[in-house]
């Protein structure tokens, strides 16, 4: 029976990752040469996409084209789609490859823009590859001795040839929470956001901190409220660059909220009917010009929706 859970955008990677194959060089060579092999392309952190509007997809390059465009030894083995091996390559350089060697295959697009238009499966695969490429780009040197490290395990590890330290891809946990008090919830806004944008609160977990404690600290620091209970909703891989958003509903002890003026410039309480209208894109009732909340592909939207519909 399949694992059942609420899957946010970027959480839909359905490939069989087959981590056992990553350590078998002969099998990897076979998987690169397989007729059914598919190669997904990235350029400077952006996936190659094809299609228009709601119907974007990740076009698979035939293996021979993929291996001409990038060094196969630096390719990332993402897993199997049925019998088909799926790989990702990252192209670099100033010149857009979709106007060069990959002409006619699609266009490169920021994953923040493409994410909500890809299928859940493609968005998840793109998020996996992007997070790994981001990690690789920023971890070229051994953090123990400073020597250049080398790729291993089909892109899932790096090894220092000097001190033999193994380095693994990192995921940075972020708690993202909707504070609630009885039938109202609190949203905040950061000064750097688009005009009128309100959203949930969020912050990185710190070492030695549980998810619950991190959530309570963020709500206290940013809004001056005491969290009395924390309920998990869902999580979202967020490959900008390598985060995991942990979505929570946080009940607080009162409504005397004060924005910290560092992260948040304003906080406001909303009733469920007001929040539902905002989620539909209807801000006509509000006194704030251009008021809005994040789009459905953001876990913040899903947290608000789940609470408002409960
Ligand atoms: Zn080292």
Q: How far is ligand 1, taken at its centre, from the CA of residue 141, in Å? A: 8
Mean pLDDT for all residues in the chain? 95
Q: What share of the chain is helix, strand, coil (3-state, %, to 5)?
A: 30, 30, 40
Name residues whose C-beta falls within 8 Å of residue 301's C-beta, 6 or more positions apart in sequence: 279, 293, 294, 295
- What residues flank ion ligand 1 with Cβ within 5 A? 142, 144-145, 147, 160, 162-163, 165
Q: How far is ligand 1, taken at its centre, from the CA of residue 14, in Å? A: 34
283 vs 271, residue with greater confidence: 271
Confidence at residue 54, expressed as pLDDT on a 0 to 100 scale: 63
Phi, psi (deg, nearest 5) at residue 141: -115, 150
Q: How far is ligand 1, taken at its centre, from the CA of residue 139, in Å? A: 12
Confidence at residue 128, expressed as pLDDT on a 0 to 100 scale: 98
Q: How far is ligand 1, taken at its centre, from the CA of residue 164, in Å? A: 6
pLDDT over 90, % of the chain: 89
Name residues whose C-beta falls within 8 Å of residue 205's C-beta, 6 or more positions apart in sequence: 173, 174, 175, 211, 214, 246
Report the predicted TM-score, pTM, of the whole model to 2 decimal places: 0.94
Q: How far is ligand 1, taken at its centre, from the CA of residue 174, in Å? A: 29
Task: Give pLDDT tens digits for 37-64.
Answer: 999 999 999 999 999 756 899 999 999 9
Q: How far is ligand 1, taken at its centre, from the CA of residue 149, in Å? A: 7
Q: How far is ligand 1, taken at its centre, from the CA of residue 93, in Å? A: 28
Q: How far is ligand 1, taken at its centre, from the CA of residue 166, in Å? A: 8
């Amino acid at each position: 029976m399949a694992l059942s859970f609420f899957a946010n955008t970027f959480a839909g990677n359905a490939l069989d990752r087959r981590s056992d194959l990553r350590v078998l060089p002969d099998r990897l060579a076979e998987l690169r040469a397989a007729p059914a092999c598919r190669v997904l392309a990235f350029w400077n952190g952006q996936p190659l996409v094809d299609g228009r509007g709601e119907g974007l997809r990740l076009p698979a390059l035939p293996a021979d084209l993929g291996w001409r465009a990038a060094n196969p030894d630096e390719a990332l083995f993402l897993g199997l789609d049925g019998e088909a091996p799926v790989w990702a390559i990252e192209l670099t350089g100033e010149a857009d490859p979709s106007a060069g060697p990959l002409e006619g295959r699609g266009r490169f697009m920021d994953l923040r823009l493409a994410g909500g238009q890809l299928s859940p499966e493609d968005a998840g695969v793109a998020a996996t590859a992007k997070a790994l490429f981001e990690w690789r780009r920023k971890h070229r040197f051994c953090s123990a001795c400073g020597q250049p490290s080398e790729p291993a395990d089909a892109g899932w590890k790096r090894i220092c040839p000097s001190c033999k330290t193994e380095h693994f891809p990192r995921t940075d946990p972020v708690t993202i929470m909707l504070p609630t008090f009885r039938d109202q919830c609190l949203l905040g806004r950061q000064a750097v956001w688009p005009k009128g944008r309100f959203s949930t609160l969020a912050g990185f977990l710190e070492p030695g901190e549980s998810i619950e404690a991190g959530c309570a600290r963020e709500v206290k620091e940013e809004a001056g409220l005491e969290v009395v209970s924390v309920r998990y909703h869902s999580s979202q891989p967020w490959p900008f660059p390598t985060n995991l958003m942990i979505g929570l509903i946080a009940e607080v002890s009162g409504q005397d909220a004060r924005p910290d003026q560092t992260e948040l410039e304003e906080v406001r309480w909303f009733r469920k009917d007001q929040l539902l209208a905002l989620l539909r894109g209807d801000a006509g009732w509000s006194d704030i010009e251009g008021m809005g909340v994040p789009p459905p592909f953001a876990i913040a939207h899903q947290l608000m929706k789940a609470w408002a519909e409960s």
